[in-house]
Amino acid sequence: MPIYDYSCRACGNVFEALVRGAAVPACPECRSEDLERLLSLPAVRSESTRQQAMRAAKQRDVRQANERVHAQREYEAHHDD
């Protein structure tokens, strides 16, 4: 059962749909069946893309940790116990 990307010609909504057999999906926004199937790009996994994803995740984690520390300091500064 493949998942396809579609663009609705009636309202312009872009969405994914799981298609079983010869079933024709409908747009989840306007229920139109006037759809254009789009080309989907495969997800490419390689050592370089894995490293890039890990770097981005580490940067995100550091940023979130800094935000938590800042929020805790702000809370402590403005709340008396």
What residue spans define the domains of the chain? 3-38, 42-81
pLDDT of residue 81: 61
- Phi, psi of 36, deg, nearest 5: -115, 125
Q: Distance between CA atoms of 65 and 77, rounded to whole angstroms?
A: 18
pTM of the model: 0.48
Helix (H) or strand (E) holding 41: none
Q: What is the pLDDT of residues 13-57, one digit of tens each?
A: 999 998 888 888 999 999 999 999 998 767 677 888 889 989 999
State yes or no: pLDDT of 1 exceeds 70.
no
Q: Distance between CA atoms of 33 and 31, rounded to whole angstroms?
A: 7
State yes or no: pLDDT of 79 exceeds 80.
yes
Task: Work out the pLDDT band at 66, boundaries 50, 70, 90.
Answer: very high
